[in-house]
Amino acid sequence: MNNKPGNRGPLGLLGGTFDPIHLGHLRLAEEAREALALEQVCFIPAGDPPHRTAPAATPQHRLAMVRIATAGHPGYTVDDGEVAATGKSYTVLTLERLRERHGPSRPLVLILGADAFLGITGWHRWAELFELAHIAVANRATHGSAWLDERSPELHAATARRVDNTPAALARAPAGSIIPFEMTPLAISASLIREHLRCGRSSRYLLPDSVLDYIQLHNLYRRA
């Protein structure tokens, strides 16, 4: 295999607070990797997320949990750039950094849920994202690609010609396409897990046992 930057297969990028990482995150990564023929999926824990309140766990704990959850999977890597950086964790800055690292030719694929995609016009320098990466959008359960009809006029104007239902489009260019893909619905959320842990209820089978062991070891998410 040619390992020169720019000559490798599509790299999926899955960002989030991962507070904590759970099976829904891992399943999203796995289904995106398979459906889109991604060479790898890189998990990117946010350091200081700009669009929500501060996470309950520190960036260092959240990074550690992501590393534990993905350990041993040859298709997963972890990037600590947002945790190490100062200031807000803006996606466009991360994509600029990763584009410089991987070269101008390697396809980068930002993996989003439909709700996140529909709110993308509120992101910092959002229009530049399409010049830096493709965007893969997980279809909602039972709704298929109906979310495309929910785009604001601004988002529709910017993306109407970018939607491509052929995953092979990701390998033809380094950036610029929007690719919908199907995902198995899992009713798991980090907020639900945190609430279970605060109340002393079991969260087993909602997240990897190794992550749950880490949470218990460090007494995370418990009420003071």
Whole-number Å distance between alpha carbons of 95 and 63 = 18
At residue 28 the predicted structure's pLDDT band, cuts being 50, 70 and 90, is very high
Q: What is the pTM of this model?
A: 0.93
Give one word for 176, left, alpha or beta, with left for phi > 0 and alpha for psi -120 to 50.
left
Whole-number Å distance between alpha carbons of 121 and 174 = 22
**pLDDT tens digits for 72-86?**
999 999 999 999 998
**Residue ranges covered by each domain of the chain:** 11-186
Question: Chain centroid to CA 71: how far?
Answer: 17
- What does CATH list as the number for 11-186? 3.40.50.620
Asked if 68 and 25 count as a contact pair (C-beta separation under 8 A), the reply is no
**pLDDT tens digits for 134-186?**
999 998 765 678 888 899 999 999 999 999 989 998 989 999 999 999 999 88
Q: Give strand pairing partners of 181.
A: 138
